[in-house]
Amino acid sequence: MRKKIIAGNWKMNMTPSEAKALAELLIPLVKGTKNEVVFCVPAIDVTTVVKAVKGTKIQVGGENIYFEDKGAYTGETSADMLLDAGAKYVILGHSERREYFKETDEDINKKVLKALEKGLTPILCCGESLTQREQGITIDWIRMQIKIALQGVTAEQAQKMVIAYEPIWAIGTGKTASTEQAEEVCRAIRVLIRELYGQKTANAIRIQYGGSVNAKNAAELFSQPDIDGGLVGGASLKADFGAVATA
């Protein structure tokens, strides 16, 4: 039985002092949930949020890493830096990074390999644009993104990973995929994982839906057989996250 995982993606929001206040607001609201809860926060906030959640079951994640260990990569954050600050997860391949920072599937593959090598759990994002959905190539696109991102990843490593299906047209738009649309793609991802790694890995890997998840739609989305929780943007920055994380 897979444990559901609900991760907040704070994006480029919250100064360290605001992050502390938000963590303190959310901690009592997610207490008692059976789900695993993760706050994925800006790198500058990781230490503060790790300190704030100490003594709870909440985990902390970053929102990106670079694929090199260290060196002359001004402005980047390494896997070791996040780990040493207390993070356990890292979001990789978010559509905003693909779009604004021109991350390629090959870059994301290198980041996934680096995170796994170091012991950070990747939350690997994939998702189609509205045009791709209208062209009928959603599943082909997602399969390609995941196949490239997982090059060189072993079955044992894949079992620990999280994949977030996030249709780009649903992110931050208030337009959620229907439960059927979300389940269809999450199921297709599990089928792909079975093809690549076998049934054991397909049963173990957790697949989230992300895209305008809120307190009203979370329970129905997360009740689907292949949806093991959500990656949550806007609603993770307010008290609504309590209801989402406990759905």
Kindly list the residues in this chain that would bind ligand PEP in the complex (CB under 6 A). 9, 166, 171-172, 210-213, 231-235
Q: How far is CA 199 from CA 1, 149, 190, 194, 237, in A?
A: 14, 20, 9, 5, 36
Nearer to ligand PEP, 59 or 201 (CB): 59
In whole angstroms, what is the distance from residue 157 CA to residue 66 CA?
19
Residue 54 CB coordination number (10 Å): 9
DSSP letter string, 141-162: HHHHHHHHHTTT--HHHHHH-E
CB of 230 to ligand PEP, least distance (A): 8
CB of 9 to ligand PEP, least distance (A): 4
Q: How does strand 89-92 pair with strand 121-126? A: parallel
In whole angstroms, what is the distance from residue 186 CA to residue 183 CA?
5
Q: Specify the DSSP element, H or E, that contains 242.
A: helix 240-245
CB of 100 to ligand PEP, least distance (A): 12
Q: How does strand 206-210 pair with strand 36-40? A: unpaired
Nearer to ligand PEP, 9 or 78 (CB): 9
CB of 111 to ligand PEP, least distance (A): 16
- What would you measure as the largest C-alpha separation in the chain, in angstroms? 48
Nearer to ligand PEP, 71 or 100 (CB): 100
Nearer to ligand PEP, 202 or 235 (CB): 235
Nearer to ligand PEP, 42 or 211 (CB): 211
DSSP letter string, 62-111: ES---SSSSSS-TT---HHHHHHHT--EEEES-HHHHHHS---HHHHHHH
CB of 182 to ligand PEP, least distance (A): 12
In whole angstroms, what is the distance from residue 42 CA to residue 15 CA?
9
Residue nearest ligand PEP, Cβ-based: 233
Catalytic residue annotation: 94, 166
